[in-house]
Structure 1
């Protein structure tokens, strides 16, 4: 009987190892603080590639590499590596399934503000706040003209108060949030700030103080990756990721996704959705030094974050954005 059980387990392990495997890595993680001026963008990359092929690509493009690990930031410092980095990315994107997601954390924080500090007010009054993407339109308006419209520094103070209130969930932090809204020129955009500034809407404050509500962007980034991996995977697949402290949060979220066995589909928009149970079967943490495939994911997300930072004018990157 013991031998039979061992054989069954070995067969199960073999089936898992034979599955298509996506390797993922992240960049720009700052926890609950989405206003970090040094890291405006957060993202992650998933690549369906095995370690042997990844090792071959690294040797092909960086035959003289002496470091123990391929790291984008280290390689990008040397101008001589730039053509090689571009060629490596081109090779990965041309021949392998690959998806990269990058978000502007300030814009994401504005969307969260509208989700918890505004939408409950409209919901209680029978208004569909999300109809026709109104939340995205209002977030875009706040992002672009809010700093001028609401007064000097008012939007920054409001967002800082919001993410602190979400984290602490204390009466004093919630009161400070309402005070920040009232101290702004909120009458210039009452649709967005009126629920807090005019009414201190209890339904909004309750939503902000609810357990589990967080401004951590990991959930959004990971869900965006999974929604695409589920589409491009041929069948059941698995994920490997680095053992870094940041990715521990991703690991826990992935395990929760895998454990959700009820059949249901969530539609975020007309072109984005996710269906449970997932094709994703397992998630494993690995040492990135022993995983050339994870190292390639580091290069892809590192280059993407640098490119979008350059295009947004945040700072000048080393590669051609």
Structure 2
């Protein structure tokens, strides 16, 4: 049976405001441990470390070219997909999902039609700091994240107050519902199971691709790290879901249940060369994202790393103010149905 090895980077749970880790992502590779071991020996014949770790390897200048060659070989010879998201942009999207959309839903408007939510989130992410003041805008998002986590009356009240401290009438479509304390929005924020944890978003994107890449039943193996425990339980719930249903998310993404994925297992990465290579893949992708956005100086050329990927091998969630392209990509999307379905069937713990 075909097996995909997965590793993640940048996971900070519900905290999408983490200043150190601005991007989150994961890589899935259909790669056997035998093939992975051969690749490691071929590209790093003198490596003495117990396991391959991107952060350790990239610090040594002599290993940077072999790293690029390894990444290029994996992408050209094996099924592989990498997902990377800007966590603050994702937080803005979640803000619209729970602090805005319920207001429109109650009034018969499809807030998600043709990806309008992505366009508005991109606009809010891009102009929010200058339109409302950076500190004030970030305080709003931090209050939203806190209210979703705590779900107390005081935290929700503080969120409404944060919205009213802004010049929200400059963009009432996005902030008006919360400024007026829309009961529908406040109820959505307080709903058990609603969270800003991005693990399901990451997995949903990865699985949408592994399902397409796999001809039949397949399995997933991942590291035993603390961060991946939540991924593990979510994957198992996706596997256990046996309802027959299919959703279109964009012109390149869809998801259908039951999944072809049949099992998920955890393994010590030290004994799984394939998981170690997944670590290299996602480590390089996250570093490239930080480098391309000017957040950090990348040790591997970010543009070179990204040029190794074919279009179908890389999924990203980042803001874009090319609104026509956003509309084309998501025209006819079933986003509202997807969100409702996942909230009903996979919300909570």
TM-score, L = length of structure 2: 0.86
Match of 2:152 in 1: 170
Report if aligned partners of 1:151, 1:185 keep a CA contact under 8 Å in 2: no
The alpha-carbon distance between structure 1 residues 280 and 193, as it changes in their structure 2 partners (threshold 3 A), is same
Equivalent residue for 2:117, pick from 135, 148, 151: 135
Q: Which 4+ residue blocks in structure 1 deviate beyond 3 angstroms?
A: none
CA distance in structure 2 between the aligned counterparts of 1:282 and 1:230, rounded to whole angstroms? 13
Q: How does 1:56-95 map to 2 (within 5 A)?
A: 56-95=38-77
CA distance in structure 1 between the aligned counterparts of 2:5 and 2:39, rounded to whole angstroms? 15
Equivalent residue for 1:235, pick from 191, 216, 235: 216
Match of 1:251 in 2: 232
Report if aligned partners of 2:43, 2:66 keep a CA contact under 8 Å in 1: yes
> Is residue 296 of structure 2 the alignment partner of residue 315 of structure 1?
yes
**Secondary structure of the residue that 2:250 maps to in structure 1?**
coil
For residues 69-126 of structure 1, give each alpha carbon's deviation from its aligned partner in whole angstroms, at most 9, with x where no partner exists: 1000000001111001000001100100000000000000000000000000001111
Quote the offset at 1:44 in angstroms: 0.1
Equivalent residue for 1:36, pick from 15, 18, 22: 18
**Secondary structure of the residue that 1:23 maps to in structure 2?**
strand
Q: Which moved more, 1:125-134 or 1:185-194?
A: 125-134
Q: How does 1:22-33 map to 2 (within 5 A)?
A: 22-33=4-15
Quote the offset at 1:266 in angstroms: 2.1
CA distance in structure 2 between the aligned counterparts of 1:76 and 1:222, rounded to whole angstroms? 26
> Is residue 252 of structure 2 the alignment partner of residue 271 of structure 1?
yes
Equivalent residue for 2:167, pick from 157, 173, 185: 185
Quote the offset at 1:281 in angstroms: 0.4
Equivalent residue for 1:216, pick from 197, 208, 216: 197
Match of 2:327 in 1: none
RMSD: 0.7
Quote the offset at 1:180 in angstroms: 0.4
Quote the offset at 1:155 in angstroms: 1.2
**Secondary structure of the residue that 2:24 maps to in structure 1?**
strand
CA distance in structure 2 between the aligned counterparts of 1:269 and 1:169, rounded to whole angstroms? 32
For residues 144-181 of structure 1, give each alpha carbon's deviation from its aligned partner in whole angstroms, at most 9, with x where no partner exists: 11101112411100000000000000000000000000
> Is residue 82 of structure 2 the alignment partner of residue 100 of structure 1?
yes
> Is residue 263 of structure 2 the alignment partner of residue 282 of structure 1?
yes
TM-score, L = length of structure 1: 0.93
**Secondary structure of the residue that 2:192 maps to in structure 1?**
coil
- The aligned length equals 302
Gaps of 5+ in 2: 303-349
Quote the offset at 1:267 in angstroms: 2.1
CA distance in structure 1 between the aligned counterparts of 2:269 and 2:104, rounded to whole angstroms? 47
**Secondary structure of the residue that 1:268 maps to in structure 2?**
strand
CA distance in structure 1 between the aligned counterparts of 2:157 and 2:249, rounded to whole angstroms? 32
Larger CA Rg, structure 1 vs 2: 1
Report if aligned partners of 1:21, 1:48 keep a CA contact under 8 Å in 2: yes
Report if aligned partners of 1:45, 1:301 keep a CA contact under 8 Å in 2: yes
Gaps of 5+ in 1: 1-18
